[in-house]
Amino acid sequence: MSIIYDKKQRTITLHTDHTTYQMQIDRYGFLLHLYYGGKADGCMDYLLTYYDRGFSGNPYEAGTDKTYSMDSLPQEFPSLGTGDYRTPACIIKNTDRTYCSDFRYVSHEIRDGKYALPGLPAVYADTAEAQTLEVVLEDPVTGVRAVLLYGVLPRYDIITRSVKIVNASQGYVSVKKLAPACLDLLGGEYDFITFYGRHAMERNCQRMPVGHGVHKIGSLRGTSSHQYNPAVILAARDATEDAGSCYGMAFVYSGGFQSEAGMDQYYQTRVLMGFSEEQFAYPLNPGEELQSPEVILTYSGAGLGQLSRNFHRCIRTHLCRGKYKEKVRPILLNSWEASYFDFTGESLLKLARQAADLGIEMFVLDDGWFGNRDSDLRGLGDWYVNEEKLGCTLGELIGKINGMGLKFGIWIEPEMVNEDSDLYRAHPDWAFVIPGRRPNRSRYQLVLDFSRKEVVDYIFDRICAVLDQGNVEYVKWDMNRSLADVYSATADSQGRVLHDYVLGLYDFLERLVERYPDILIEGCSGGGGRFDAGMLYYTPQIWCSDNTDPIDRLEIQYGTSFIYPASCVGAHVSASPNHQTRRVTSMKTRGMVAMAGTFGYELNLNELDSEEKDEIRRQIAEYKKYASLVQTGTYYRLTNPQTDNQGAWEFVSEDQKEALVQVVGIKKHANMTVDYIKVRGLKENTMYRDTQSGRLYNSTALMEAGVPKPVLEGEYQAFQWHFVCEE
């Protein structure tokens, strides 16, 4: 039993293999948070302290007891209006136009299996693998209910949280703020680790002390965004990669979000994760409900590395779906950096022939194959194959490519429309434009109103009509701008549109996944602008960044690795000098960095000399040797490329018998000092052989003392060790 209700103490305790989470229904019916951390037993309500604290008011029923205040007590779902003046998880505008919600315990239920969320992505599990806790809270005056859901996956050290607001009142209410996850921690000093960035430089890691005041990150863009990732970590000040307490929250949502962390007047820390408040006012008529997306929570008492590994295992095996989720993905060649919009059917076939000759397994036709799309000025929305440009039908092109022994994949951007398109001319009101205002353009395109079913239905039918033309085995789903001018002609309230847009997107994706279960879908939004756990439910891999420079990628993939497994990270070998940075790097270095994800190529193979082509052949053979280890192995960060001389990481097989350590030099000096790379995750005191040199090493020595990284000639050199257990 992973969820235990103690009737006497009125505690509900959630246990995973290594963690415990406890809450208590207190004497006034408030649901208080008692503990989340390493595995522990017994009632922990002794942690709550009661003092008469000035300007911290008391609920009416506390009578003359001035020591009881919601202003200092840790809570599961704090709302505005109870006398808690900290940042709330929920604000509801009631029928009487007040903003008070006073949620009290009504009932709870424990059941086997993990809850699912209708219309939303969520962690899934077999009935025997998980349990669900549902706690019903209600405001006794308005009748509005908050139904808290907890999913517990003991073996994975994962707890998920979601909340449903049910308008059981007699009138109209509006949900102004909703954060399904709240963590109130009584003691300790913490750092808030967030992942900020920009287009082509996503998920840089920032670690900041949580101080007084609220530190808030988020996205107002209608998507999870390049600028902040919807996942955060709260780490004890002294937590490192290998030691210390840390808590992670990953939002399973692809729209706007916010996460807030702050210390209150009594030095207690609160962290929230939920919808972005701006432009959010979700209307609920009597009887209607709003189900929030869920947040994946995990705790590690053994540092950030273990926290990441908890997320990786859960996301890879219990969030990603489809036939490819645990499979090595086909090595692809993407046409974008090879030819951008400038191609013909003939030039594509020439490229494909070259790809097949080198051992590449799939050809992906990127942007430019439809409508009038020869540049980013026009064509989005017109999902009709440009047969004139291809010189044949799509079916014929696919047939020829399949004939070379290659799978075929295609790029789409369903959520967008150019003003210069037949679709926009026919349905100008289908795009987000506020009547009377000129819209904000981005890459010359506007966003289609996916909160409207007829828009989703139309585009879905058009995309299916394309995919049905041949043997399409992969789709790259792109999304190349942020939302603006949010106005939906048919919505009863504009405060619902951003969320309904995301629901429309998920509805489309769900239908696509159902109709084409064998197609591998890769997510993309100008690279990693929508790299989130929500998308990963539909697309088991996401193009990590439009930046293919391997040295920049070290940092991007490092930041990404805190939450997301390597099997989700789209990574390609591109040209040198790199198209984004003009940096020159070797094929080996580019290959090694791309191999730490779902491997592929994205360059004009026809421009390579025979030596480079041979190198690619060798690289592909090598990748195949390690692909399964990379896709399903346990991941360790060995350095921090933001500050260290090199980027280094490691994949260890589940049975710990094999490990691949990869290192790429970043900083270079004359008379270079030697760095020692400490290997991780091997069996203790066991002999391992480095398969390249044949040398035997004691594993504990490798882990405690490390191995000296060779000082190699030239810049950005790559090096790897492959250790195999001798037992």
Count Cβ neighbours within 10 Å for each residue of 118-154 and write b for 16 or more, e otherwise. eebbbbbbeeebbbbbebbbbbeebbbbbbbbbbbbb
Residue type, 219: S
The conformation of residue 328, written as its DSSP 8-state character, comes to P
223 is a contact residue toward ligand GLA (CB under 6 A): no
Short-list 74, 307, 89, CA closest to 181? 89
Secondary element (H or E) of residue 662:
strand 658-665
Position with the least CB separation from ligand GLA: 367
Contact criterion met (CB below 8 Å) for 652 and 659: yes
Please report how close the Cβ of residue 337 comes to ligand GLA at its closest, in angstroms.
8
367 is a contact residue toward ligand GLA (CB under 6 A): yes
Of residues 19 and 545, the one with the C-beta less far from ligand GLA:
545
DSSP states of 420-475 = SSHHHHH-GGGB---TTSPPPPBTTEEEB-TTSHHHHHHHHHHHHHHHTTTTEEEE
Contact criterion met (CB below 8 Å) for 507 and 471: no
Please report how close the Cβ of residue 564 comes to ligand GLA at its closest, in angstroms.
17
Short-list 448, 358, 347, CA closest to 400? 347
Contact criterion met (CB below 8 Å) for 469 and 506: no
Short-list 584, 537, 708, CA closest to 123? 537
Stretch that binds ligand GLA, among 107-115, 226-234, 524-532, 577-585 (CB under 6 A): 524-532
26 is a contact residue toward ligand GLA (CB under 6 A): no
Question: What are 34's two structure tokens?
Answer: 């008692």
Of residues 103 and 543, the one with the C-beta less far from ligand GLA:
543
366 is a contact residue toward ligand GLA (CB under 6 A): yes
Residue type, 128: A
Please report how close the Cβ of residue 571 comes to ligand GLA at its closest, in angstroms.
12
Any alpha helices (H) in 516-571, and if so which ranges? 533-536, 550-561
Residues 6+ apart with CB under 8 A from 398: 408, 469, 470, 471, 472
Using CB under 6 A, pick the residue from 305, 371, 470, 526 that binds ligand GLA. Answer: 526
Of residues 228 and 543, the one with the C-beta less far from ligand GLA:
543
Alpha carbon 198 to its chain centroid, in Å, reads: 16
Please report how close the Cβ of residue 550 comes to ligand GLA at its closest, in angstroms.
16
Residue type, 603: L
Stretch that binds ligand GLA, among 178-186, 520-528, 591-599, 646-654 (CB under 6 A): 520-528
Secondary element (H or E) of residue 219:
strand 213-219
Short-list 296, 107, 222, 677, CA closest to 485? 222
Task: Tell me how far apart the alpha carbons of residues 678 and 691 are, in angstroms, rounded to a whole number.
Answer: 18
Please report how close the Cβ of residue 366 comes to ligand GLA at its closest, in angstroms.
5
Of residues 447 and 524, the one with the C-beta less far from ligand GLA:
524
CB atoms under 10 Å from CB of 191, counted, come to 19
Task: Tell me how far apart the alpha carbons of residues 55 and 668 are, in angstroms, rounded to a whole number.
Answer: 58
Phi-psi region of 287 (alpha: psi -120 to 50; beta: other; left: phi over 0): left
Positions 444 through 483 that interact with ligand GLA (CB under 6 A): 478, 480
- Supply the Cα-derived Rg of the chain in whole angstroms: 26
List the Cα angle 228/232/233 in 5-degree steps: 145
408 is a contact residue toward ligand GLA (CB under 6 A): no
Positions 648 through 687 that interact with ligand GLA (CB under 6 A): none
Of residues 263 and 467, the one with the C-beta less far from ligand GLA:
467
Please report how close the Cβ of residue 529 comes to ligand GLA at its closest, in angstroms.
8
For ligand GLA, what does the binding mask look like between residues 536 and 555, x meaning CB under 6 A?
A: -------x--x---------
Backbone angles phi, psi at 129, to 5 degrees: -90, -15
Please report how close the Cβ of residue 465 comes to ligand GLA at its closest, in angstroms.
21
Task: Tell me how far apart the alpha carbons of residues 590 and 155 are, in angstroms, rounded to a whole number.
Answer: 36
Considering the candidates 500, 546, 549, 675, report the single residue annotated as catalytic: 546
Stretch that binds ligand GLA, among 100-108, 147-155, 423-431, 523-531 (CB under 6 A): 523-531
Stretch that binds ligand GLA, among 34-42, 44-52, 397-405, 522-530 (CB under 6 A): 522-530
Task: Tell me how far apart the alpha carbons of residues 94 and 228 are, in angstroms, rounded to a whole number.
Answer: 32
Please report how close the Cβ of residue 346 comes to ligand GLA at its closest, in angstroms.
21
Positions 546 through 605 that interact with ligand GLA (CB under 6 A): 546
Of residues 268 and 372, the one with the C-beta less far from ligand GLA:
372
Of residues 82 and 386, the one with the C-beta less far from ligand GLA:
386
383 is a contact residue toward ligand GLA (CB under 6 A): no
Alpha carbon 371 to its chain centroid, in Å, reads: 32
Of residues 176 and 373, the one with the C-beta less far from ligand GLA:
373
Of residues 25 and 524, the one with the C-beta less far from ligand GLA:
524
What angle do helix axes 550-561 and 587-595 make, rounded to 10 degrees?
10
Short-list 109, 115, 114, CA closest to 130? 114
Of residues 420 and 546, the one with the C-beta less far from ligand GLA:
546
363 is a contact residue toward ligand GLA (CB under 6 A): no
Please report how close the Cβ of residue 342 comes to ligand GLA at its closest, in angstroms.
12
The count of residues interacting with ligand GLA (CB under 6 A) is 11
Please report how close the Cβ of residue 590 comes to ligand GLA at its closest, in angstroms.
16
Please report how close the Cβ of residue 411 comes to ligand GLA at its closest, in angstroms.
5
Of residues 241 and 478, the one with the C-beta less far from ligand GLA:
478
Contact criterion met (CB below 8 Å) for 162 and 289: no
Considering the candidates 84, 157, 382, 478, report the single residue annotated as catalytic: 478
Contact criterion met (CB below 8 Å) for 158 and 176: no
Does 478 qualify as catalytic in the annotation?
yes
527 is a contact residue toward ligand GLA (CB under 6 A): yes
Positions 310 through 349 that interact with ligand GLA (CB under 6 A): 336
Please report how close the Cβ of residue 86 comes to ligand GLA at its closest, in angstroms.
40
Place of tokens 């408030």: 30
- Binding residues for ligand GLA, rule: CB under 6 A, are 336, 366-367, 411, 478, 480, 524, 526-527, 543, 546
Q: What amino acid positions are annotated as catalytic residues? A: 478, 546
